[in-house]
Amino acid sequence: MYDHIGLRVADLDASVRFYTAALAPLGFVLCSRDDSGAGFGPKDQPALWLHLHKGKAPGGAHVAFRAPSHEAIKTFHTEGMKAGGKDNGAAGRRKDYSPTYYAAFLIDPDGNNVEAVCA
């Protein structure tokens, strides 16, 4: 199971229009919006983040998977590195996200940011 997804977009206005329409039947609403991005999800619980990417075509996604424990997150990071992932943040608290947010981050072989999180 995943926790949230972040995608780069080249045209934020067009993407917000699309996701607002496409996700409404699923119970997702626009929860957050500024010049750099937007968040969608159940009310006050964004699960899909769109990030404006200036320049050439966007690339590299961010996918976060919900983990059952801190130990599982540590194992995710260790085993992922062994399997060819690159460190993008060791297991630990991310107080800038929230006081209880605990996560680890890896870059997969295709350049996507993959996260395990327990908050």
CA distance 44 to 3: 14
Domain ranges of the chain: 7-52, 62-118
pLDDT for the residue numbered 58:
62
pLDDT for the residue numbered 15:
83
Using the predicted structure, report yes or no on whether residue 59 has a pLDDT greater than 70.
no
> What does the block give as tokens for 84?
């060819």
Top-level class of domain 62-118: alpha beta
pTM of the predicted model over 0.85: no
CA distance 64 to 87: 15
CATH architecture of 7-52: Roll (3.10)
Strand partners, 104: 116
Q: Do domains 7-52 and 62-118 have the same CATH topology?
A: yes
DSSP letter, residue 35: T
pLDDT for the residue numbered 32:
93
Using the predicted structure, report yes or no on whether residue 34 has a pLDDT greater than 80.
yes
| Structure confidence by residue, pLDDT tens digits, 82-98 | 887 889 999 999 999 99
